[in-house]
Structure 1
Amino acid sequence: MTASATGGAVPSTAVEPGREGRPVAETGRRADPDYVSWPVRLGWSARALSLAANIIILGYFSLYATDTLGMNPALLGTLMLASKLFDGLTDLVAGWMIDRTHTRWGRARPYEFAMLGLWISIWALFSIPAGLPLGAKAALLFVLYTLVNSVFATLAHANQTLYTALAFPTRVAIGRVSAFSGMFISVGVVVISVIIPQGLAWAGKDPGRWSTFILALAVPMAVLGMMRFVFVKESVVQSADTAEKVTFREIFAALRDNKWIWIIFVLGVLQNLLLNVGAAAYYFRYIVGDIGLQSWISLASLLVIPAVMAIPPLMKRFKLSSIIIAGQLVCVLGNCVLFLAGTNIVLLLIGSLIIGVGTLPLSYMIGILIIDCATYNEWRGHRRLESVMGAVQSFSAKIGTGLGLAAAGAFLGAFGYDGGLDAQPDSAVFAIRALFTWIPALIALLMVVTLRFYKLEDLLPQINQDLAERRAAQGIAAGPAADGGPANSADTPTDKP
């Protein structure tokens, strides 16, 4: 028996309602729907690492734009916020488009080709000629930044939830691949986070060197980005697969009736606000005095990687939202350590490691909460709309990123930051320290408060039982019992409604 993360002990062969798999000819562990092969784990994780690398390198774009292109930080923040607001339109359109897709490759899988366009656009974004007039630079920056985020990153994110639901038949399988991806991505992210500051130290403020370095990074990342398409097929059949194509009226009805996805939306805004309001690169360049030292802090993050493997076992005893809340409180502690650190590398290392542990649950498991929202849609009588649910979360990420970049730019500009100076005035140093330490701590506390309103997990055992009974009555689910059946309070006491 395995304990379902949605509540209750269920047979290891259980398949969740609405996600019945094709008949499996294999015997042994390959016939177990919880089993995930190594090629699938590696292919899934390689693409995730490529997308994570995109986020990491975009985190340095503000530094590139202010110090290399000579952009005013407040103007830069405004341009990126405007781009992110435009993303709101493309996210819902992308979700609608993916949920209507039916091809010989599958429904979500064809959109993996967006990863190629993503990395080509990123290289172009970091290759804007520094000698262009300010207006031309601003226009080109806006167009390329919008292309990266509103088109290619949007498609790459919007297909994630549906692809997950169609590739893995149970939450246990999703938890397993997510935990492995967490390990794989954490190692890869550390390697990339070590390489990037060293490359940027080499590039300095020279635009040609920036372009060369980003190209050297973009080529292997584009290859990794296509690994999921190669190794992971859609193997789960949903009843919705054969239904009529989804309409905007159905989308709006589901969004209207699902309050839980809007809590996830707020959580996503805050998460990405926190990620983008920070000023680590500025902190190491102007306060520590060497941006290359950021590499060693990143290398030490390898120490926190094993912690991600503790999440699936914890999900058997605690609600995922409670695990995420605990993680955010750990992040607050880590930011307090950073506040006290100053230029002390040991304290900077300790604070960063604490934050690294705290961010793991939300970073790698939020997709499970989104799939739960799709299950809630079905329970309410709507289409599951995994891609639309994923698009809402993706939109929240864009809004949070835009707000974070705009707020950071405005904050730095208001306190006298000048990218042309080798040393910043005391007022700008104060702003950099605030963005690096106590402002992220306040945002983490807001995330804790937000998650206190998320109660869907308490309802899931009954929801899954109702769906299983409904499908059995309709003759749809004639196969194995539904994951999340009658709860065994000895297994998951925190998940009982």
Structure 2
Amino acid sequence: MEREDKLTLAERFSFGIGELPGAANAIIGAFLMMFYTDNIGMAAGAVGTMFLISRIFDGISDLIAGNIVDRTKTKWGKARPWLLWLGIPIGLSVALLTWVPENASSTTQMIYAFLTYNLFMSILYTMVNVAKSALMALMTQNPIERAKLAKYSVLFGLGGSMIGCSVAFPLINALGGDISAWRGAFAIFGTITSIGVLLSFALSHEHIKSVEETVGTGVREKISFWTGLKLFVQNKYFIFTLITNFLINLSNNLNSGSQTYFYKYAMNNEMLTTSLNLFNLVPMVFSVMFLGEPCIRKWGKKKSLYIGATGQILSYAVRGLAAITGNIPLLTFGTVLAGITLGPIAVSNNTLPADAVDYGEYLTNKRIEGMGSSVLTCANKLSTGLAGAMVGWVLSLTGFVANAVQSASTNNAIAFLFAWGPAILLVLEMILVKCVYRYDEERPVVMDELQKRKEKTAL
């Protein structure tokens, strides 16, 4: 009924390595706030507000980027060319983030931070990530192949994030530990990001044609921004995906955005950032590679989302108890538990936008892969900005002083951001899945109808 032939290993790899900009984004979310506050001397509250304002622009730019992708037509397809065109610029933008003028006024420093942060986040990362995310719906409609693509995406995205976060401090210290060392480290991260994006372009292919492209002249109608936005809003699974991804990503980003502060100040050992991320890496890879796709095969996406969310909530609870007791072995156990239970929720979550694209075509005969993929990127970046703002605000409100012993109220607030807050957000996500998600049952009807339309119009 749908394209059943398997994607090649190179195509799966291409989709995965295209997630390296997301890994760079995670590293930026985890370390840039500390660079601004502890190395440049910028006020935490001001930086947090800058992050949030930037993410408002960024959320809008995601929807615009989605429409641009939907209107693109080249010999390479509609999504792939953006990976070629922006592969090198996005790496350069990562490096520029740390070149804040050291001796300038606080206003000048904030302007530079705002401009370079938005160059990366609102423009280049937006276009690259929307285009890369759109590829899933353009490469295959086979649910198992989509699960495999999601598996590789999560593996490279989270794996790259964890490796990057693990090596960041050792790399910075090895380079001298000063501002120049931060600049060297981010230049390395930027170079790796560019290589990943260019390889994603080179190895991927767009296979799927819409119902529109099988009739008449075989040309898909270009969709205006407002038409695309209307189609987006009318599709319940786009809205569901937007909210679900926002909650999951906000949970992840609160945890990752506060982890450097948690380990350095609450646990008095900043190198735990390296050791615990490495402890988490092996179980995470195992879960993504060997648990996510089998869970979807056996139980479907709804139950897989339940299984993964439940495991993550338990892991946060364990780490929250470790924060109260100062128990590092318990903290390590909670970290490993988070890795083991990640696969089912992460793999399922990453296939939701492509499913929503199919459902939208079922309703309207229009496929909006670009606008649809902007669901993931918009939710991810808005949640990252809000998480960064929340960390900055909480630190400011509780009397945080950089490079000093923190008060009990500050350490308790950091522990809430690190563990209990993320757990609460995932409880809300499970409630949403329970109340809204029905696509496991609806999908056979959707795909049969789409296939009938293509066969009918091909006669």
Q: TM-score, normalized by length of structure 2?
A: 0.91
Question: Are 2:183 and 1:196 aligned?
Answer: no
Offset, 1:195: 1.1
Question: Within 1, Cα distance between the matches of 2:177 and 2:41?
Answer: 10
Are the aligned partners of 1:272 and 1:404 in contact in 2 as well (CA < 8 Å)? Answer: no
Aligned equivalent of 1:91:
62
Letter in 2 for 1:394: T
Aligned equivalent of 1:23:
none
Question: Are 2:372 and 1:389 aligned?
Answer: yes
How many residues were matched structurally? Answer: 446
Question: Within 1, Cα distance between the matches of 2:43 and 2:453?
Answer: 59
What's the CA shift string for 1:290-317, capped at 9, x where partnerless? 2222211111121332222222222122
Letter in 2 for 1:290: N
Question: Within 1, Cα distance between the matches of 2:343 and 2:29?
Answer: 20
Offset, 1:60: 1.1
Which of 286, 310, 314 is the matching residue for 2:291?
Answer: 310
1:240–1:93 distance in 2 versus 1, CA, 3 Å: farther
Offset, 1:184: 5.2
Offset, 1:200: 4.2
The farther-off stretch of 39-48 and 95-104 is 39-48
Question: Within 1, Cα distance between the matches of 2:200 and 2:391?
Answer: 35
Aligned equivalent of 1:26:
none
Question: Are 2:207 and 1:235 aligned?
Answer: yes
Aligned equivalent of 1:334:
315
Which of 224, 233, 246 is the matching residue for 1:269?
Answer: 246
Offset, 1:265: 1.1
Offset, 1:282: 0.5
Aligned equivalent of 1:116:
88
Aligned equivalent of 1:412:
395
Which of 11, 25, 50 is the matching residue for 1:79?
Answer: 50
The farther-off stretch of 307-316 and 142-151 is 307-316
Question: Within 2, Cα distance between the matches of 1:202 and 1:72?
Answer: 27
Which of 65, 70, 81 is the matching residue for 2:36?
Answer: 65
Question: Within 2, Cα distance between the matches of 1:176 and 1:401?
Answer: 26
Are the aligned partners of 1:332 and 1:445 in contact in 2 as well (CA < 8 Å)? Answer: yes
1:256–1:148 distance in 2 versus 1, CA, 3 Å: same
Letter in 1 for 2:315: G
Are the aligned partners of 1:378 and 1:384 in contact in 2 as well (CA < 8 Å)? Answer: yes
1:182–1:135 distance in 2 versus 1, CA, 3 Å: closer
Question: Within 2, Cα distance between the matches of 1:255 and 1:345?
Answer: 46
Aligned equivalent of 1:358:
341
Question: Are 2:327 and 1:344 aligned?
Answer: yes
Offset, 1:133: 0.8
Matches within 5 A, 1:138-177: 138-177=110-149
Offset, 1:444: 1.4
Are the aligned partners of 2:90 and 2:120 in contact in 1 as well (CA < 8 Å)? Answer: yes
1:448–1:105 distance in 2 versus 1, CA, 3 Å: same
Letter in 1 for 2:317: C
Aligned equivalent of 1:214:
186
Letter in 1 for 2:425: I
Are the aligned partners of 2:263 and 2:269 in contact in 1 as well (CA < 8 Å)? Answer: yes
Are the aligned partners of 2:30 and 2:259 in contact in 1 as well (CA < 8 Å)? Answer: no
Matches within 5 A, 1:335-484: 335-342=316-323, 343-419=326-402, 421-452=403-434, 453-475=436-458
Letter in 2 for 1:227: L
Question: Within 2, Cα distance between the matches of 1:90 and 1:46?
Answer: 23
Question: Are 2:124 and 1:137 aligned?
Answer: no
Offset, 1:240: 4.0
| Structure 2 stretches lacking a partner, 5+ long | 214-218
Offset, 1:468: 2.4
What's the CA shift string for 1:27-81, capped at 9, x where partnerless? xxxxxx4423232233332222343233223321111111112122211111111
1:200–1:423 distance in 2 versus 1, CA, 3 Å: farther
Offset, 1:288: 2.3
Secondary structure class of the residue paired with 2:61: helix
1:287–1:202 distance in 2 versus 1, CA, 3 Å: farther
Question: Within 1, Cα distance between the matches of 2:146 and 2:322?
Answer: 38
Secondary structure class of the residue paired with 1:60: helix
Are the aligned partners of 2:139 and 2:207 in contact in 1 as well (CA < 8 Å)? Answer: yes
Are the aligned partners of 1:190 and 1:299 in contact in 2 as well (CA < 8 Å)? Answer: yes
Question: Within 1, Cα distance between the matches of 2:5 and 2:453?
Answer: 24
1:243–1:264 distance in 2 versus 1, CA, 3 Å: same
Aligned equivalent of 1:244:
221
Question: Within 2, Cα distance between the matches of 1:88 and 1:469?
Answer: 37
Aligned equivalent of 2:274:
295
Instruction: Report percent identity of matched pairs.
Output: 24
Question: Within 2, Cα distance between the matches of 1:448 and 1:304?
Answer: 21
Aligned equivalent of 1:494:
none
Offset, 1:158: 1.2
Offset, 1:382: 4.2
Question: Within 1, Cα distance between the matches of 2:110 and 2:381?
Answer: 19
Letter in 1 for 2:360: N
Question: Within 1, Cα distance between the matches of 2:156 and 2:193?
Answer: 14
Secondary structure class of the residue paired with 2:109: helix
1:178–1:340 distance in 2 versus 1, CA, 3 Å: same
1:273–1:183 distance in 2 versus 1, CA, 3 Å: closer
1:290–1:400 distance in 2 versus 1, CA, 3 Å: same
Question: Within 2, Cα distance between the matches of 1:127 and 1:442?
Answer: 37
Point out the structure with max Rg over C-alpha: 1
Q: From the two aligned structures, give the one with the greater helix fraction.
A: 2
What's the CA shift string for 1:363-384, capped at 9, x where partnerless? 3332321111111111112411
Are the aligned partners of 1:275 and 1:404 in contact in 2 as well (CA < 8 Å)? Answer: no
RMSD: 2.2
Question: Within 2, Cα distance between the matches of 1:173 and 1:221?
Answer: 25
What's the CA shift string for 1:344-373, capped at 9, x where partnerless? 322111111112233333333323211111
What's the CA shift string for 1:325-357, capped at 9, x where partnerless? 221111111111111213432211111111223
Question: Within 2, Cα distance between the matches of 1:335 and 1:122?
Answer: 30
1:202–1:415 distance in 2 versus 1, CA, 3 Å: farther
The farther-off stretch of 178-187 and 328-337 is 178-187
Offset, 1:289: 2.2
Question: Are 2:2 and 1:15 aligned?
Answer: yes
Are the aligned partners of 1:121 and 1:148 in contact in 2 as well (CA < 8 Å)? Answer: yes
Aligned equivalent of 2:216:
none
